[in-house]
Copies of this chain bind each other. A is one copy, B any other.
Amino acid sequence: MSSTPDSAVRTYIEGHSAAFLDDLAEWLRIPSVWADPAHADDTRRSAAWLAEALTATGFPVAEVWPTGENGEGAPAVFAEWPSGTPGAPTVLVYGHHDVQPAAREDGWHTDPFEPVLTDGRLHARGAADDKGQVFFHTLGVRAHLAATGRTAPAVNLKLLVEGEEESGSPNFPALLKTHADRLACDVVIVSDTGMWAEDTPTVCTGLRGLVECEITLHGPDQDIHSGAYGGAVPNPATEAARLVAALHDDDRRVTLPGFYDGITELTDEERRLIAELPFDEDRWLRAAHSHAALGESGYSTLERVWARPTAEVNGITGGYGGPGGKTIVPASARLKLSFRLVAGQDPDRIQALVRDWVADRLPAGIRHETVFTGATRPCLTPIDHPALRSLVTAMGRAFGQKIRFTREGGSGPAADLQDVLGAPVLFLGISVPSDGWHAPNEKVETGLLLKGAEAAAHLWEELGSTGTHATGRPAA
């Protein structure tokens, strides 16, 4: 139920897009790579920058929140803008301001932290994941006010922007618990996902969970001569490779005993809906920069990335990697593994499985350490949830098209939000697969960023006009 002409929102956004993109570029110049200790200060600077920008946007409250038991975590940013309208629902927008590591030599055409705007695309680490998608809310709420003539939003608007999402959000559940009172809300809007395609706007209904670990294997106390000793002592690089190879069987199913226990299998109806999407595997492969599909037998590509758990090697290092040869048995090898989880898989249980499995498979003479570096629960929002109607309406007004449903293969702390705050979680994201999340030359389509701002402006009006019952919350 909308009362404001869509054109009022659009006109405001178009008129302010240049300044919006300039401000976003300034934020993108801060290399908030929290995973790399060398960028800890940059990540703190990123939080301070955002709090200032939210104050400038008009939020009466904008605070930097320390995280971790002793403030050793990355700072989060919290902002709040009360509606002033009695009975207005409370919405909490979630995003993150930390970004993936990026270095020019990884294959970037330009400096990853010097944004470049060409042909309607803004290239920079974090442009899509997730700074761009956080920042469109600053434009969206101002458009909402300008178009409605209000001085405060139609909803009680809260933002929580964390700084450890790319590191598995280790301090996020504790942060939510500590500030549960101030974060209390009727609905959570996660702005850290994407759409099916630029011409196929969609709403995401679920994310996979994530368990990450680093396994270090130690063999000889130092690199040793492969001629003098090779073939007679265990080689940690060989053992690391044997672990990786043993992760999957020939059907590319994960072999860890109990790994699939208790998972929510796809229903026939869900498989039908997924199969109906306009999926072009060649196009998907191009977006994936990949040259073939390969995965668990018996499932389609979309099913594999949306609804099936996986085991992936993110990094493997051991021995000599420099120019030429070096005939050694290396002293050590290291694996970085990640496991994507689906509904029904508990990260703690999976961590225990992985730990036991690794310990059981190594020969005498190989010491090992398994360190878990992050865990995120999977998350699935029912398609028939009442609050979803407001979001689909808002998206429909912004895009002028039918809105379809998807899931995402990636992970985020959405499940924590749902669990700790007891509120339903919706996803408002405008990124597209070609944006290159976690990859060199990450970009965002600026036209879609502005659509995201439009959708947000409409969403606050939609949710405000229908009241809290539209959020699916029972009346108090």
Contacts and interface: CB of A to CB of B under 8 A. Distances in A.
Interface in A218-238: 219-235, 237-238
B232 A304 contact: yes
A245 B248 contact: no
Dominant SS among interface residues on chain A: loop
Contact of A321 (B295, B305, B334, B439): B334
Contact of A235 (B228, B235, B285, B312): B312
Interface in A398-421: 408-411
A149 to B, nearest CB: 41
A289 interface: yes
Contacts of A106: 222-223
Interface string A326-369: 11111101101010100000000000000000000001111100
Interface stretch (A57-65, A206-214, A457-465): A206-214
Interface core residue of A100, A314, A363 (most chain B CB under 10 Å): A314
Contact of A230 (B166, B241, B312, B374): B312
A191 interface: no
A126 to B, nearest CB: 14
Interface core residue of A242, A367, A373, A441 (most chain B CB under 10 Å): A242
B326 A35 contact: yes
Interface string A288-325: 11111111100001001100111011111111111111
Contacts of A317: 316-318, 321
A237 B318 CA distance: 12
Nearest to A281: B232
Given A230-B409, A241-B245, A244-B237, A323 B36 contact: yes
Nearest to A313: B237
A314 B319 contact: yes
B228 A409 contact: yes
A295 B232 contact: yes
Interface residues of A, number: 102
Contact of A231 (B166, B305, B436): B305
Nearest to A107: B222
A230 B440 contact: no
Contact of A292 (B240, B308, B365): B365
B210 A438 contact: no
A168 interface: yes
Contacts of A116: none
Nearest to A218: B291
A410 B34 CA distance: 46
A246 interface: yes
Given A222-B440, A316-B318, A233 B327 contact: no
A37 interface: yes
A21 B421 CA distance: 74
Interface in A96-122: 100-101, 106-107
Contacts of A212: 325, 327
Given A227-B411, A231-B308, A316-B319, A327 B363 contact: no
Given A232-B295, A245-B245, A322-B36, A225 B439 contact: yes
A244 B318 CA distance: 12
A433 interface: yes
A35 B373 CA distance: 37
Interface in A168-227: 168, 208, 210, 212, 214, 219-227
A340 B437 contact: no
A141 B326 CA distance: 33
A223 B315 contact: no
Interface of A: 34-37, 100-101, 106-107, 166-168, 208, 210, 212, 214, 219-235, 237-238, 240-248, 285, 288-296, 301, 304-305, 308-310, 312-331, 333-334, 336, 338, 340, 363-367, 373-374, 408-411, 433, 436-441
Given A220-B289, A227-B340, A228-B305, 17 more contacts: A34-B324, A35-B324, A168-B325, A226-B438, A227-B305, A227-B409, A227-B410, A228-B410, A228-B437, A230-B312, A231-B308, A233-B293, A314-B327, A315-B321, A315-B326, A316-B333, A320-B336
25 contacts: A101-B322, A101-B326, A166-B327, A212-B325, A220-B290, A221-B290, A224-B436, A225-B437, A226-B438, A227-B411, A228-B408, A228-B409, A228-B410, A231-B340, A232-B288, A233-B285, A240-B241, A290-B365, A291-B366, A293-B365, A294-B365, A314-B320, A324-B373, A325-B336, A327-B438
